Amino acid sequence: MTSRQFLRVGGAVLIVLGVLGFVHVLGPTPETSIFGATWWSDTGESWGHLILGIIALIGVYVFDADAQKSLATVLGTILVLVGLYSIFNGNFLGVSLENPADTILHLILGIWALIATRGREEVA
């Protein structure tokens, strides 16, 4: 997997998660999430997912391979740091990260992004 592929697929995943949080499938409260308190995204987290996903998809079409690798590195680092932070504290800048699925999701996406930066980049 390359950085470009992560930005494309990971960006789409983040956008879908953001939208699902807004349309009361994954939030904005545990009561409105289909997974209950196990996995839900408040409005702030849904915005975060949506914005990061849009940035990732824009990067696929606007940036060259080196900039895509840098963007994937930044996104991966952010996701891993937020995932690690959520293990010890359930609130980040007013965004609720208190359910275990959040931690797992952020760590998986972040590690995936960082691994993708190690792959050989495709020539656009």
Q: Model confidence over 28-48: pLDDT tens digits?
A: 888 989 998 888 888 988 999
In the prediction, which pLDDT does 123 show? Answer: 54
Q: E strands, 1-124, where?
A: 91-92, 95-96
CA distance 74 to 120: 18
Are 13 and 110 in contact by the 8 Å Cβ rule? The answer is: no
In the prediction, which pLDDT does 97 show? Answer: 73
In the prediction, which pLDDT does 71 show? Answer: 97
In the prediction, which pLDDT does 29 show? Answer: 86
Q: E strands, 45-122, where?
A: 91-92, 95-96
CA distance 29 to 50: 17
49-90 confidence digits (pLDDT tens): 999 999 999 999 999 999 999 999 999 999 999 888 888 877
- Check whether 92 has a pLDDT greater than 80: no
Residue 2 CB-half CA count within 13 A: 14
Whole-prediction pTM value? Answer: 0.88
Looking at every residue in the chain, the average pLDDT score rounds to: 90
